[in-house]
Structure 1
């Protein structure tokens, strides 16, 4: 049976910012999707490690500092539980579906290191599926955005509560399933083959974006910030920004 007929593990974070090196987890969700079974989800709310949640982040996901501190649990506990849930899914053979994986997985890695918790990649062998990378590979020249909301519109996937971790995790799985259903060449690849291919595709896509920034007036300064690594940006050496 091809991989896309089996269950997927979706993962999403809502956070305090856009820099995975310094941002903190506010909410997170791990879902089990597909395989002929009802979707199940486990969600977390973190106190964001005591840092302030900027208004710009609140405008995206709706959580402000006061609400997160009131409803959230200690960040180290949340990080440990999320990593444990993802490790259990990986050990069960489920591929991990993460939209823009290099952001969420890098941020989770930095949160773990911040609190002295064993990172996910030191506990499990991962098979990652990133609908953003997959879509860019099968639709290289399609005009328009590539956000999760954009992909949901293109692949006709419901997304009623965008920027809630559960809704985004479920939608990422649904988009990934739709992409695989539409493109048999992806179905025919094993998860290991597809994982390796995505690493190459993601690097090529990032390099193309970097080159675009470098040659576009007013965007040249953005080129240096484009990273080619996927699905995780390696941790800085000791003395990093966290």
Structure 2
């Protein structure tokens, strides 16, 4: 059975910034959907323990003051998010994550920061199968001009995206885009392991091509990391 006809766990975060190594989770959502079962929505608001920059607040609307007053301790949020995701991995449910190398790497560093077991450890060393609409889109149509943000992909694939930069809305939007990609493209209608491997190839290919492009424009030392769906910590091998 193709992955898009089964259960999926869509995951998204809104954060304090764009640095996956040092920034923190502010809101997170895991939406369980598909597979002819009722949808489940799980959302969290964290007190990240640091100030939320004005630029980040302008995107997702959460201020430092709001997070401090209404958010739960970051360690609790990170623990609950990872526990729920690990349960899905153990059950063979693929994770749908737009730009997975950002969200999954950020979550991994949060787990390390709070001295919690990694997602891999919590899933009994079972690697997750990940569906990343960004990687799929780059693989299907590498030369299409324009941006490839979630809002752009939603418009391109005819998907309604409500309340962009809300973690729950973005998670659902990513799942809808991924579903539409598979529904339109028979070559994507694979098992979860097979589609994961194909995306690994596409991620490496895109990174190599983009690195070559940057160097052709005079950035001779440009390095584009093609590892996906997560950038491993320096001391370990990480996810595939």
Shorter chain as denominator, the TM-score bin is over 0.9
Whether 2:25 is the aligned partner of 1:28: answer no
Q: Quick check: 2:2–2:192 contact (8 Å CA) kept in 1? A: no
- Cα shift at 1:222: 8.6
| Distance in 2 between residues matched to 1:25 and 1:10, nearest whole Å | 16
Give per-residue Cα distances to partners, 1:3-58, cap 9 Å, x unaligned: 2111111000100010100000000000012223343210001101x111111111
Does the residue aligned with 2:222 lie in a helix, a strand or coil? helix
Does the residue aligned with 1:29 lie in a helix, a strand or coil? strand
**1:71 maps to which residue?**
70
**2:188 maps to which residue?**
186
**Matching of residues 106-121 of structure 1 within 5 Å:** 106-121=105-120
TM-score w.r.t. the length of structure 1 is 0.92
Q: Quick check: 2:32–2:41 contact (8 Å CA) kept in 1? A: yes
TM-score w.r.t. the length of structure 2 is 0.93
| Distance in 1 between residues matched to 2:181 and 2:221, nearest whole Å | 30
**1:137 maps to which residue?**
139
| Distance in 1 between residues matched to 2:163 and 2:196, nearest whole Å | 29
Off by >4 Å, runs of 4+ in structure 1: none
- How many positions carry a matched residue from both structures? 233
| Distance in 1 between residues matched to 2:112 and 2:35, nearest whole Å | 34
| Distance in 1 between residues matched to 2:93 and 2:72, nearest whole Å | 27
Q: Give structure 1 stretches of 5+ with no counterpart.
A: none
**2:202 maps to which residue?**
201
**Matching of residues 11-90 of structure 1 within 5 Å:** 11-48=11-48, 50-90=49-89
**1:166 maps to which residue?**
168
| Distance in 1 between residues matched to 2:63 and 2:101, nearest whole Å | 25
| Distance in 2 between residues matched to 1:209 and 1:196, nearest whole Å | 20
**1:93 maps to which residue?**
92
